[in-house]
Amino acid sequence: MHKTFQEYLCAEEINYQLENELDFGIILNAIREHLHDAHWREVLLLLIAQQKPKNVAKAIRAVLNNGSEYEEWLYRDLFFAGNCLAENPKGLRGVAGELVQEILERLLELEVSRREQVAGEVHLQVYQSFRSLYETDFEAQALEMLKKRSNLIDEGRLLRYQAELGEKEEVMTTLLTMLQDKDSVIRLKAVNTLRYFREPSETVVNALLVYLEDEDPYLRKTVAHALGYWGKDSENAFNTLLDLLQNDNLAVRWEAAFVIEKLGYKKLGNSIDKMLEALPPQLQDWVFALVKGDEANLDESDAGSQSNIGILLERLKDENPILRGGAVSALGKLGNSSEVIINALLEVLKDQVPDVCGMAAMALGNLSNSSETVVNALLEKLEDDNSFVRCGSATALGDLGNTSETIVNALLGKLEDEDSYVRQRVSDALGKLGKKSNHILPTIVQWIQQHQDSEYVGRGIDALWYLVVGEEN
């Protein structure tokens, strides 16, 4: 973990004071006063790691027993103790093996708990805590403990732990074998796990390219998303994607176009134009809309002109839902919240295609018009039968920044939505609104207290995390 020169100086100054006064209470006081202050984080970690083993143990125990606010939900003290282990203080296992075991066991209990009950952010932090133990004295111990509870850990996540904690080559071999399995579920697990590898090899990219033509549509989509992050570094990936734009299967062409859009069509130069010319006329419009986006049709220096806005407004009526969606997206990015545009987007909220309707909701959020008409329309869509529409509405309500009791209560009610993506968007929206108003944090705390037994209580905790921990970072 990188430390700045100023952080070293600060730690050295406190150490000098400690040696001069022979009072370990100086460090304990620093922990009590600054434990979750972002400006002190690296100083405290450095300071603790520099102590002799018994004093390191005392300091970490003080961290664990700090009793920070909302510790029963956010586990900030526990995670900081895990960060102390990641600093690899020498000799700690020898003098405080029980303390190390306690920290790892408490992290493990969170790992095997249901994500929806402990919060997604907490679950993510558990992963970060374990992976940070790579090449420390605690690496093997942590991995052994994780493997012993493998029956309660998602297979893909356990493979990621193994890769992060010294078994990367073995895991890569396993995943490449899984990619060849006849069962699409197993292939999907392999792809989902590979997505988390930051530097995949050309072998992995080539293995995934095959599955852009897989018969399983969800697998194709997952592969497309993975390649969207990686393919920019692979010439072979780019060439294969271009070839797939002419595939006989419409869905395959769609996934290929999605990845090209993700990677950035400008990298292709004139290649995409030549490829579009080779497509049947009835396919050119939707591929062009997805790959280049409607903004590409407009002069960037004049994107907000009345003539171009008129073009986009006209496209809102097009029979092709992809062109309607592209126009909605473009309007939402122009920053023009004129009455004409707002009314047009409100009309699109009635679109029969859920994707277009959800995009219209998000566009309204981007334009920052929180009029009563807009808010009421979004609140209505928060109850829509389609989960994507509900996601779009929740996102928009969070972006608008209106912290009225009606909006907050409506969002709180959706923290237990049947769809996990909706719950996440609602949690994010409440977190954003909480930055605008002091009354939302206690409201969220009250909701958590009242829903302790809910299987979805974690989404309320996610919002709390955003408000409390987000302030520290």
Q: What is the Cα–Cα distance from 367 to 369, expressed in whole angstroms? A: 6
More confident residue, 298 or 426: 426
Q: What is the pLDDT of residue 230?
A: 65
Contacts of 453 (CB under 8 A, 6+ apart): none
- Strands (DSSP E) contained in 34-143 are none
| Over residues 298-326, mean pLDDT | 71
Q: What percent of the chain has pLDDT over 70?
A: 79
Six token digits for residue 33:
């006063």
Q: What is the Cα–Cα distance from 120 to 394, expressed in whole angstroms? A: 18
Q: What is the pLDDT of residue 179?
A: 86
| Over residues 306-324, mean pLDDT | 81
Mean pLDDT of the chain: 84
Q: What is the pLDDT of residue 100?
A: 97
More confident residue, 59 or 194: 59
Does 293 have pLDDT greater than 70? no
| Over residues 128-157, mean pLDDT | 95
Q: What is the pLDDT of residue 303?
A: 46
Does 449 have pLDDT greater than 70? yes
More confident residue, 96 or 275: 96
The per-residue DSSP string of 339-401 comes to: HHHHHHHHHHTT-SSHHHHHHHHHHHHHTT---HHHHHHHHHHTT-SSHHHHHHHHHHHHHH-
| Over residues 273-277, mean pLDDT | 58
Q: What is the pLDDT of residue 379?
A: 97
Positive or negative: CA dihedral 167, 173, 179, 185: negative
Does 31 have pLDDT greater than 50? yes
Q: What is the pLDDT of residue 300?
A: 38
Q: What is the pLDDT of residue 274?
A: 56
Least confident of 67-76, 197-206, 355-364: 197-206
Range list of H helices, 231-353: 235-244, 250-263, 271-278, 281-291, 306-315, 321-333, 339-348
- 218-246 per-position pLDDT tens digit: 787 778 777 776 656 666 667 777 777 77
Q: What is the pLDDT of residue 215?
A: 77
Q: What is the Cα–Cα distance from 331 to 312, expressed in whole angstroms? A: 7
Tell me if 285 sits within 8 A of 323, measured CB to CB.
Answer: yes
Query: Which uninterrupted H or E stretch holds 13?
Result: helix 5-21
Residue 5: how many other CB atoms lie within 10 Å: 7
- 159-195 per-position pLDDT tens digit: 999 999 999 889 989 998 998 888 888 888 888 888 7
DSSP 473: -
Q: What is the pLDDT of residue 287?
A: 55
Does 298 have pLDDT greater than 60? no
More confident residue, 23 or 20: 23
Tokens 């994507």 found at: 388
Q: Which of 24, 198, 53 is nearest to 137 (CA)?
A: 53
| Over residues 94-108, mean pLDDT | 96
pLDDT level of residue 294 (50, 70, 90 thresholds): very low
- 379-429 per-position pLDDT tens digit: 999 999 999 999 999 999 999 999 999 999 999 999 999 999 999 999 999
| Over residues 296-325, mean pLDDT | 69
| Over residues 276-294, mean pLDDT | 53
Q: What is the pLDDT of residue 18?
A: 61
Q: Which of 433, 383, 364, 435 is nearest to 405 (CA)?
A: 433
